[in-house]
Amino acid sequence: MTQIPHSYKVEAVVLRRSRVGEADLRLTLFTPTVGKVHAVARSAAKPGSKTGGHLDLLTRCSLLLAQPRYGGMDVVAQAHTIHSFLPLRQSLEGIGQGLYMAELVDRFLPERLEQPQVYYLMLHALHRLAQGDSESAVRHFEVQILVALGYSPELYHCLGCQADMERLPGFFSPARGGLVCPRCGSQEAVTRALSAPGVQALRRLAGADLGAVPKLSPEVCDELRGLLRSYITYLLERDVASAQFLDSIRRVPAEPSSGKLRTWP
């Protein structure tokens, strides 16, 4: 009697996709129930495929996945779009911000580790991006994924001498993972000056829930973008490729996108 491979239904956001051979797609999927999963979609890259259109990058989709009998990647048996987040695809910056968040999830999370908090955090951030609130949404996502994964920055006491940082000017040490006072900061190899509005914004972002993302000024967003990038780069021991992509598109005039996301930048 032939044994039928185990299959299961799941919803997912497509984090990565690449072509394998002439017709197949290799996917990295992020699910709320089984975490990050690698899968292959057979013949999905063929023109006119009924499956491939539901597996664009950053698409939230409903899937039926089959586990091969002898191991290997799961196979996409069925796919249907739940939400395409189409408005965020109308600009290169919107696309870049979405791919940046997808890369953070991919880099930070091991395979098949359930992280529903991060999954719904990402969905909320994608909705905010689609509504045009890109910078505040991405800064909130950065801080909240760090909090969820145990890398919450210390924002109230100096990590060198434990001094109360409520009134002192702040410096941020990526190596220590939070604020240091001027005296301790002078002994660190790398620190970033942090303004009082920047400190307050970080505290608000760390404490905000999904429905109360604080609106940040452009100046504070710029300050926190550099600070959080240095901290994330330290944790991952490498720069984030899509952050470099965002750097490049910020230097050129915005142009409309085709709405299709087929490759990783």
CA dist list (Å): 200 to 11, 50, 121, 165, 220: 36, 49, 21, 11, 10
Q: How many CB atoms lie within 10 A of CB 240?
A: 18
Residue 66's nearest CA partner among 2, 4, 1 is 4
Q: What predicted TM-score, i.e. pTM, was given to this entire model?
A: 0.90
Residue 228: name the closest of 164, 135, 160 by CA: 135
Q: Is 101 helix (H, G, I), strand (E, B) or coil?
A: helix
Reading the block at residue 16, the tokens are 């990565």
Taking the chain, what is the end-to-end CA distance rounded to the nearest angstrom? Answer: 46
Quote the CA–CA distance of 246 and 87 in Å, as a whole number: 18
Whether the pLDDT of residue 97 is over 90: the answer is yes
When the pLDDT of each residue in the chain is averaged and rounded to a whole number, the result is: 90
Length of the chain counted residue by residue? 265
3-state helix, strand, coil in the chain (%, to 5): 40, 25, 40
Tell me how far apart the alpha carbons of residues 3 and 5 are, in angstroms, rounded to a whole number.
6
What integer pLDDT is reported at residue 4 of this predicted model? 44
Q: φ and ψ at 13, to 5 degrees?
A: -110, 135
Is the model's pLDDT at 2 over the cut of 50? no
Tokens at residue 155, please? 């924002």
Contact 256, 90 (CB under 8 A): yes
pLDDT digits (tens, 9 = 90+) for 169-222: 789 999 999 999 999 999 999 999 999 999 999 999 999 887 778 889 999 999
Separation of alpha carbons 206 and 144, rounded Å = 6
> In the chain, what are the domains?
7-83 (2.40.50.140), 86-250 (1.20.1440.120)
